[in-house]
């Protein structure tokens, strides 16, 4: 089963409709080819190492032939632009917005799956948070194609509709899967509650490289420590909106303060919504 692909002109309303049904959607050509080439050049020092000399994973989850590099906001100005893509933020406004005053960037990672890699263990990105499923979404992920994604070279495997499964249900061989297949500059947006995993790369000579940028509610702990990944000496020169997105701003009413005040440059920066708590945890 293929995931639904929509053009870059599709509205946020349309994207959320597909997300609510399938838990994932591909947006074709949302980033310009030149923008992706720039990112490739910026991350080349980390992504072009010979695979045998690279810092690889040490288990099936991280991948024995998968190279990962994080701290992308600090390393790549091009990734800063991806993180604040207007259409993506419009989707986040609709999905995460009702649950928080502001959402935030949770983690960043460029992922290179080399030939010979096996399929990653299927998982939910929301497993780190103790919220019962199904329920409101607290995490939205995006993976941008830096290279072509195909079934053969490790395109992400998604279990459509699994965001609606209960906590007790796990993937089985009988469940329908979709392989993310897309051209450079396209992006797959998916809920953190969707079961997914990196695909097997059965080619002999084709890497699959994606740029992962994930977002979560502003009152949850970020998966990647953004204050170490993008320290103040770098963050102070970022655009205000991006600086707030990675966490250098308070969350209404009193989260993230420093010396008793919102650390954002302008009072109330990013406080666009009234705080709401409709997510319910276990116990």
Strands 139-145 and 208-217: antiparallel
SS3 for 12? helix
| Radius of gyration for the alpha carbons in the chain, expressed in angstroms and rounded | 18
User: What CATH number does domain 5-245 carry, 3.40.190.10, 2.60.120.620, 3.30.420.40, 3.10.100.10?
Assistant: 2.60.120.620
233 contacts: CB under 8 Å, gap ≥ 6: none
SS3 for 17? helix
pLDDT of residue 56: 63
0.85 cut: is pTM over it? yes
pLDDT of residue 279: 37
The domains of the chain are located at 5-245
Q: Which residue has the tokens 């998968």?
A: 66
pLDDT of residue 272: 38
pLDDT string in tens for the chain (283-residue length) = 789 999 999 999 999 999 999 999 999 999 999 999 999 999 999 998 776 666 666 677 778 889 999 999 999 999 999 999 999 999 999 999 999 999 999 999 999 999 999 999 999 999 999 999 999 999 999 999 999 999 999 999 999 999 999 999 999 999 999 999 999 999 999 999 999 999 999 999 999 999 999 999 999 999 999 999 999 999 999 999 999 999 999 998 889 988 888 887 443 333 433 333 333 333 3
**Six-digit token string for 160:** 């459509």
Cα dihedral 78, 80, 86, 91 in deg (nearest 10): 120
SS3 for 15? helix
pLDDT of residue 51: 66
How many CB atoms within 10 Å of residue 50?
7
Q: How far apart are CA 207 and CA 139, in angstroms?
A: 27
pLDDT of residue 61: 79
End-to-end CA distance of the chain: 37
Q: How far apart are CA 33 and CA 36, in angstroms?
A: 5
Nearest alpha-carbon partner for 54 in 70, 71, 66, 37:
66
**Six-digit token string for 112:** 């290179």
């Amino acid at each position: 089963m293929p995931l639904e692909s929509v053009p870059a002109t599709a509205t946020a309303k349309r994207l959320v409709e597909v997300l609510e049904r399938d838990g994932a959607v591909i947006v074709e050509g949302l980033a310009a080819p030149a923008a992706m080439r720039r990112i490739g050049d910026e991350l080349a020092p980390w992504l072009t190492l010979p695979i045998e000399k690279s810092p690889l994973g040490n288990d099936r989850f991280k991948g024995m032939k998968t190279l990962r590099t994080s701290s992308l906001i600090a390393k790549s100005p091009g990734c800063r632009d991806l993180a604040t893509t207007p259409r993506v933020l419009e989707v986040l406004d609709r999905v995460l917005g009702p649950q928080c005053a502001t959402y935030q960037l949770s983690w960043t990672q460029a992922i290179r799956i080399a030939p010979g890699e096996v399929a990653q263990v299927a998982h939910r990105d929301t497993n780190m948070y103790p919220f019962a499923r199904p329920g409101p979404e607290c995490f939205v992920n995006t993976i941008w194609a830096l290279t072509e994604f195909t079934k053969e070279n490790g395109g992400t495997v998604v279990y459509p509709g699994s965001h609606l499964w209960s906590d007790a249900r796990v993937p089985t061989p009988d469940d329908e899967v979709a392989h993310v297949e897309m051209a450079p500059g396209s992006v797959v947006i998916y809920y953190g509650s969707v079961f997914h995993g990196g695909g097997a790369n059965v080619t002999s000579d084709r890497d699959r490289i994606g740029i992962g940028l994930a977002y979560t509610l502003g009152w949850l702990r970020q998966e990647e420590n953004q204050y170490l990944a993008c320290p103040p000496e770098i963050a102070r020169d970022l655009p205000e909106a991006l600086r707030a997105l990675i966490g250098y701003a308070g969350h209404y009413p009193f989260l993230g303060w420093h010396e008793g005040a919102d650390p954002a440059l302008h009072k109330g920066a990013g406080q666009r919504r009234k705080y709401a708590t409709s997510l319910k945890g276990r116990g």
